[in-house]
Amino acid sequence: MSRNPRTGASARGPRHTEPRELAGLLSAAAGDAARIAAIAPALRGHWLRTVADALEEHAEELTALADTETALGPDRLRGEVGRAAAQARFYGEVAAEGGWLDVRIDRAGPGGPADLRRMNRPLGPVAVFGASNFPFAFGVAGHDTASALAAGCPVLVKAHPAHPLLSARLGTLVSDALRAAGAPAGAFALVTGFDAGLALVDAPEVAAVAFTGSQTAGTALVERAARRPVPVPVFAEMGTVNPAVLTPAAAATAAGVTRAATGFVDSFTLGQGQFCTKPGLLLAPRGSGAAEAAAGALAGVRPGWLLTEGIAAAYRQGLADLVAAGARPVARAEAADGAFAAAPTVLTAPADALRPGSRLLEECFGPVALVVEYDGTPHLRDLLGRLQPSLAAAVASGGPADPDLPWLVEHLARQAGRVVVDGWPTGVATGWAQHHGGPWPATSRPDATSVGAAALDRFTRPVAFQNVPEAALPEALRDGDPWNLPRRVDGVRTGGRS
Amino acid sequence: MSRNPRTGASARGPRHTEPRELAGLLSAAAGDAARIAAIAPALRGHWLRTVADALEEHAEELTALADTETALGPDRLRGEVGRAAAQARFYGEVAAEGGWLDVRIDRAGPGGPADLRRMNRPLGPVAVFGASNFPFAFGVAGHDTASALAAGCPVLVKAHPAHPLLSARLGTLVSDALRAAGAPAGAFALVTGFDAGLALVDAPEVAAVAFTGSQTAGTALVERAARRPVPVPVFAEMGTVNPAVLTPAAAATAAGVTRAATGFVDSFTLGQGQFCTKPGLLLAPRGSGAAEAAAGALAGVRPGWLLTEGIAAAYRQGLADLVAAGARPVARAEAADGAFAAAPTVLTAPADALRPGSRLLEECFGPVALVVEYDGTPHLRDLLGRLQPSLAAAVASGGPADPDLPWLVEHLARQAGRVVVDGWPTGVATGWAQHHGGPWPATSRPDATSVGAAALDRFTRPVAFQNVPEAALPEALRDGDPWNLPRRVDGVRTGGRS
């Protein structure tokens, strides 16, 4: 069933994938996996460009459909279509560049060890569970799908129940684009329905699972996959509370406090606070007036609607739970009219309330954040030590010479996947140097990223070939180097594009 | 207790580590972790060279002590000391070269994304469980210890009960060498006793576990670590049956069959068959006479002793179980005299007996292997499909133009970590291109290797730094590049040593 967050109106969703149909899709994926893996990465880049073109060509239609199911607004959604298209092209470029294959060649020495060549190979079919909050960037044609295809893995995407009609439309567009680009039929499939999703996690054909969403759902998938006769990796990006710190130097002037508080509020209310990188906690020097400044900034925020009835209910319950755990509302914006409306809210709490196990240390999905005051560096350090590890952490500093920056950056790097200075974590650029991950329980695999060039690495496994004649070697490892790859030969990096 | 495999004689082993003592060692490791992580990798290379020097300096003493506890013989053990020293130096070189830090810098664009810098950072204290069968190469100062130290992680090694006195002596040598080289006290510790080992896996200070040994013990550690409040990765290298294939072209002449059978027997009896890369199964064309040729080669094998009473008992039981599962002895060498003696054995079995779940498809640690005949390529392909994935797989070919090589290499690469042509898997060279791993259940982490340059990667986690001023960046990410690292800047590989 499809729901409109503004009105609550229901529309009939696509029918669920039947077990027999699913078996056919899995069989096609497994059957084409070796062929897809053996194709030159640059050709898979062509597939992804064709997908990107299709997204852009249908941007207006997709934006309208997504707005009906998510209420995220046409501007944001139109931008996200473009972002998803750019991502797909980027992963295609990364595939073609070939560094992710990590080719290493140790040549035979006279009387020494045999010729040894190592590369990363695609794992096989990947099951993708996209997110509710980014229907394009982390959806059917989002980061996981594009990076898995780039790495040479067939993809089976579970349609998200928060936007089932959009998922179905995207599924058709992606399938058609891949077919037009010459990809095998098994390269991509969309499956619909809760049971079909569970069946994907259990299927022997599936070699890895990628997930973006809540800790509850992510942990359930991790545990389910561990019970398989042959376990497979689950790359679950779940998210916790991303902390932000206002340093004393940044808080030295009222203008500094206002600037930081405004940035904080803009960031935590972006997309109605439905970002896994939402800064959920601001630690500010006692007496800095950060909470009041945030309250002031909140007045300018336009309220909106949450993605689903469930998220709206959890948000209301979450606010009540935060208050029960010791938080106090400082400011509350107007709520929008309509079914899944939410009122953006700033809370404060005494530092003592940040105790291990407290609800204050857990994520509350939606436009709410907490401001807590600290008394000097040792206190701040102590408070940071109480937090769960997170995807991101931010510092609002007094500038590059801020004396607290070095220790804060180092401290935060130990408990977050990304440390941001004088910026906010909600913008996650897709590039070579991105890392969108973090220590458990922010993700189930702290070594993995779901955004950026290294996203391909999740879906590979190394294999070494010892004394294998040229004709029997994979193309990536041949002396002739037909794919023009960067390689490490006898330990020395060489080749590839310059 | 220390046992002599030749005589069964017992000697008193070192005392077990008490809980309070263990707590102190864990606290020291955790307390020094950040300092060890921040040290220039080249300096950790110096630590490892000092360890290597100490091993070589005490080679004769260590060899004699190890021979008493393992009966592997002075020649093999002396060679293994040298190998462990070379490994330690190699991981130091890998650390200093810095490619494992995977530094990526995306510079800020005008009006575009912020400056973003990503690197791998050490995880923290690593618990190492070494192997019984390589007291040096996979022991207290073996691959896991050296690669974890190289990557900047403190190491806590559990002494192996098969060679407790050697473990204790190695522990002292490593501690002394590291202290002499200037390493912090928390960089290394040895712990003794079963309970202390379990406590390591549970300890909140421990960030990763590395294990080499049986499937039973490895799986138990994986499950135990998954039950921690904060789960940590367990890199368990466990091993299954490594298959070898004799192609029709290789079997075309009697000399070819004899050469392959001799190589097979030499490989599966090396170290009394106590190698995780032992080729445990030879698939040969029907009528090739491979089993008879192997029987002939077995006559030249010098028998020895298994490492422990438990392994000797499991070997006897394993032989009986293999026969009960349909195998038939073709040849049996003389057993040595003494306590844990074992008779090297060649078995055959009808292809039909290789059914899923059969004992024939499971590892039997010790000097035994199975020869099974196949009838043509489709039958061979079917038999290969019934095997468990493995660390390695081998092909004895008829030369580079052997028509079966391309499909066999590709097929085996899907179910093994290393594919060897016209060689045997029992030699695992330590180099840049090595991969000593494999799909589950050969290991618990198919993306990881416990030998070779990539062994460091297991003990790291990426972190991205966004818009962080130079002075607050880790040294590896600074513009000045004080460590002279290979880096990827705006997607282009640059820098480092040439």
Given the residues A276, A363, A364, A373, select the one marked as catalytic: A276
Angle between helices B41-57 and B143-150 (to 10 degrees): 150
In a domain, A484, yes or no: no
**B133-192, pLDDT tens digit by residue?**
999 999 999 999 999 999 999 999 999 999 999 999 999 999 999 999 999 999 999 999
| Residues 6 or more apart whose Cβ sits within 8 Å of residue B193 | B16, B17, B159
Average confidence (pLDDT) over A75-94: 98
pLDDT, position B277:
97
Q: Which residues in chain A have Cβ-Cβ distances shorter than 8 Å to B432?
A: 104, 106, 488, 490-491
Six token digits for residue A243: 């902390």
Tell which of A466, A470, A479 to mutate to test the B interface (max B CBs under 10 Å): A466
Residue B239 confidence class, pLDDT cut points 50, 70, 90: confident
Buried b (16+ CB within 10 A) or exposed e, A204-226: ebbbbbbbbbbbeebebbbeebe
pLDDT, position A102:
98
| Residues 6 or more apart whose Cβ sits within 8 Å of residue A314 | A365, A366
The answer to whether A496 contacts B496, with C-beta atoms less than 8 Å apart, is no
Residue B477 and residue B172: Cα distance in Å, rounded?
Answer: 36
Query: What sign does the CA torsion over B163, B164, B168, B169 have?
Result: negative
End-to-end CA distance of chain B: 51
Q: Are B342 and B366 in contact (CB under 8 A)?
A: yes
Average confidence (pLDDT) over A308-312: 95
The H or E element spanning position B372 is strand B368-374
**A320-375, pLDDT tens digit by residue?**
999 999 999 999 998 888 889 999 999 999 999 999 899 999 999 999 999 999 99
Name the domain count of chain B: 2
Q: Is A428 helix (H, G, I), strand (E, B) or coil?
A: coil
Q: Are residues A165 and A97 in the same domain?
A: yes
The answer to whether B432 contacts A104, with C-beta atoms less than 8 Å apart, is yes
The answer to whether B116 contacts A437, with C-beta atoms less than 8 Å apart, is no
Residue B495 and residue B488: Cα distance in Å, rounded?
Answer: 8
Nearest to B125 by CA among B35, B42, B15, B195: B35
Q: Searching chain A, which residue's CA lies closest to the CA of residue B492?
A: A498
pLDDT, position B416:
98
Nearest to B394 by CA among B221, B314, B476, B275: B275
Q: Are residues A287 and A229 in the same domain?
A: no
Residue A148 and residue A150: Cα distance in Å, rounded?
Answer: 5
The answer to whether B465 contacts A409, with C-beta atoms less than 8 Å apart, is yes
Question: In this structure, are strands A116-122 and A103-106 parallel, antiparallel, or unpaired?
Answer: antiparallel
Residue B112 confidence class, pLDDT cut points 50, 70, 90: confident
In a domain, B248, yes or no: yes
pLDDT, position A498:
56
Q: Are residues B31 and B139 in the same domain?
A: yes
Buried b (16+ CB within 10 A) or exposed e, A12-47: ebbebbeeeebeebbebbbebbeebbebbbeebbbb
The answer to whether A488 contacts B99, with C-beta atoms less than 8 Å apart, is yes
Is B60 among the catalytic positions? no
Q: Are residues A35 and A120 in the same domain?
A: yes
The answer to whether A493 contacts B464, with C-beta atoms less than 8 Å apart, is no
Measured in angstroms, the CA of B12 and the nearest CA of chain A are apart by 40
Number of inter-chain CB pairs under 8 A, A vs B? 212
* HEC profile of A297-333: HHCCCCCEECCCHHHHHHHHHHHHHHHHCCCEEEEEC
Q: Are B331 and B300 in contact (CB under 8 A)?
A: no
Q: Are A41 and A95 in contact (CB under 8 A)?
A: yes
Phi then psi for residue A208, to 5 deg, are -165, 155
Nearest to A66 by CA among A168, A146, A192, A149: A168
Q: Which residues in chain B have Cβ-Cβ distances shorter than 8 Å to A442?
A: none
Q: Are residues A85 and A232 in the same domain?
A: yes
Mean of the per-residue pLDDT values of chain A: 96
Q: Which residues in chain B have Cβ-Cβ distances shorter than 8 Å to A97?
A: 491
- Give the nearest partner residue to A464 out of B405, B435, B439, using CB atoms: B435
Indicate if the pLDDT at residue A68 is higher than 80.
Answer: yes
Q: Are A392 and A420 in contact (CB under 8 A)?
A: yes
Q: Which residues in chain A have Cβ-Cβ distances shorter than 8 Å to B439?
A: 461
pLDDT, position B498:
56
In a domain, B349, yes or no: yes
Residue B484 and residue B463: Cα distance in Å, rounded?
Answer: 19
Measured in angstroms, the CA of B449 and the nearest CA of chain A are apart by 9
Higher pLDDT among residues A223 and A111, named by residue: A223
The answer to whether B462 contacts A454, with C-beta atoms less than 8 Å apart, is yes
Six token digits for residue B250: 């290789």
Q: Which residues in chain A have Cβ-Cβ distances shorter than 8 Å to B453?
A: 104, 491
Six token digits for residue A458: 């999740």
- Give the nearest partner residue to B447 out of A427, A461, A464, using CB atoms: A461
The ipTM assigned to this model is: 0.98
Residue A35 and residue A28: Cα distance in Å, rounded?
Answer: 11
Phi then psi for residue A32, to 5 deg, are -95, -5
Query: What sign does the CA torsion over A251, A256, A262, A268 have?
Result: negative
Question: How many CA atoms lie within 13 Å of B168's alpha carbon, on the beta-carbon side?
Answer: 16
In a domain, B7, yes or no: yes
Q: Are B153 and B17 in contact (CB under 8 A)?
A: no
Q: Which residues in chain B have Cβ-Cβ distances shorter than 8 Å to A413?
A: 121, 463, 465, 474
Q: List the domain range (segments joined by +) for residue A295.
A: 242-421
In a domain, A465, yes or no: no
The answer to whether B106 contacts A434, with C-beta atoms less than 8 Å apart, is yes
Six token digits for residue B129: 């469980």
Q: Are residues A156 and A246 in the same domain?
A: no
In a domain, B223, yes or no: yes
Q: Searching chain B, which residue's CA lies closest to the CA of residue A99?
A: B493
Residue A110 confidence class, pLDDT cut points 50, 70, 90: confident
In the sheet with B486-489, reading across from the earlier edge strand, the strands are A328-332, A345-349, A368-374, A279-285, A242-246, A390-396, A416-421, B460-466, B116-122, B103-106, B486-489, B492-495
The answer to whether B433 contacts A117, with C-beta atoms less than 8 Å apart, is yes
pLDDT, position A112:
77
Considering chain A, what percentage of its residues have pLDDT values greater than 70? 100
Measured in angstroms, the CA of A229 and the nearest CA of chain B are apart by 10
pLDDT, position B300:
87
| Residues 6 or more apart whose Cβ sits within 8 Å of residue B335 | B303, B341, B342, B343
Q: Are residues A103 and A199 in the same domain?
A: yes
**DSSP bridge partners of B242:** B279
Buried b (16+ CB within 10 A) or exposed e, B254-292: eebbbbbbbbbbebbbbbbbbbbbbbbbbbbbeebbbbb
**A240-294, pLDDT tens digit by residue?**
999 999 999 999 999 999 999 999 999 999 999 999 999 999 999 999 999 999 9
Residue A340 and residue A9: Cα distance in Å, rounded?
Answer: 11
Question: In this structure, are strands B345-348 and B368-374 parallel, antiparallel, or unpaired?
Answer: parallel
Given the residues B69, B276, B363, B364, select the one marked as catalytic: B276
Q: Are A132 and A274 in contact (CB under 8 A)?
A: yes
In a domain, A94, yes or no: yes
- Give the nearest partner residue to A418 out of B422, B439, B463, using CB atoms: B463
**B42-97, pLDDT tens digit by residue?**
999 999 999 999 999 999 999 999 999 999 999 999 999 999 999 999 999 999 99
Q: Are residues A36 and A172 in the same domain?
A: yes
The answer to whether B417 contacts A492, with C-beta atoms less than 8 Å apart, is no
Q: Are residues A263 and A326 in the same domain?
A: yes
The CATH number for A415's domain is 3.40.309.10
Q: Which residues in chain A have Cβ-Cβ distances shorter than 8 Å to B393?
A: none
Angstrom distances, CA of residue B255 to CA of A399, B246, B293: 77, 13, 10
- Give the nearest partner residue to A423 out of B447, B449, B467, using CB atoms: B467
Q: Are A52 and A86 in contact (CB under 8 A)?
A: yes
Measured in angstroms, the CA of B205 and the nearest CA of chain A are apart by 13
Q: Are A389 and A360 in contact (CB under 8 A)?
A: no
pLDDT, position A63:
98
The CATH number for A83's domain is 3.40.605.10
User: pTM above 0.80?
Assistant: yes
Indicate if the pLDDT at residue A497 is higher than 80.
Answer: no
Measured in angstroms, the CA of B341 and the nearest CA of chain A are apart by 32
Question: How many CA atoms lie within 13 Å of A300's alpha carbon, on the beta-carbon side?
Answer: 12
Measured in angstroms, the CA of A176 and the nearest CA of chain B are apart by 30
Measured in angstroms, the CA of B435 and the nearest CA of chain A are apart by 5
Query: What sign does the CA torsion over B470, B474, B475, B479 have?
Result: negative
Name the one residue in this structure whose structure tokens are 């400082």: A330
* Dihedral angle of Cα A217, A223, A227, A231, to the nearest 10 degrees: 90
Task: State which amino acid sits at residue B181.
Answer: A
- DSSP 8-state assignment for residue B453: G
Q: Are A391 and A439 in contact (CB under 8 A)?
A: no
Q: Are residues B34 and B182 in the same domain?
A: yes
Indicate if the pLDDT at residue B497 is higher than 80.
Answer: no
The answer to whether A434 contacts B116, with C-beta atoms less than 8 Å apart, is yes
Phi then psi for residue B460, to 5 deg, are -130, 165
Query: What sign does the CA torsion over B146, B148, B153, B154 have?
Result: negative
Residue B90 and residue A336: Cα distance in Å, rounded?
Answer: 63
Average confidence (pLDDT) over A108-123: 92
Nearest to B436 by CA among B450, B420, B455: B450
Angstrom distances, CA of residue A355 to CA of A246, A351, A388: 20, 9, 11
The answer to whether B491 contacts A113, with C-beta atoms less than 8 Å apart, is no
pLDDT, position A300:
87
The answer to whether B431 contacts A405, with C-beta atoms less than 8 Å apart, is no
In a domain, A432, yes or no: no
**DSSP bridge partners of A466:** A116, B420
Q: Which residues in chain B have Cβ-Cβ distances shorter than 8 Å to A388?
A: none
Is B61 among the catalytic positions? no
Indicate if the pLDDT at residue B109 is higher than 90.
Answer: no
Q: Are A364 and A328 in contact (CB under 8 A)?
A: no
Q: Is A50 helix (H, G, I), strand (E, B) or coil?
A: helix
Q: Searching chain B, which residue's CA lies closest to the CA of residue A222?
A: B226
Given the residues A69, A97, A237, A363, select the one marked as catalytic: A237
**DSSP bridge partners of A157:** A128, A190
**B394-415, pLDDT tens digit by residue?**
999 999 999 999 999 999 999 9
Q: Are residues B392 and B318 in the same domain?
A: yes
Q: Are residues B222 and B362 in the same domain?
A: no
Q: Are B293 and B257 in contact (CB under 8 A)?
A: yes
Six token digits for residue A358: 């407290």
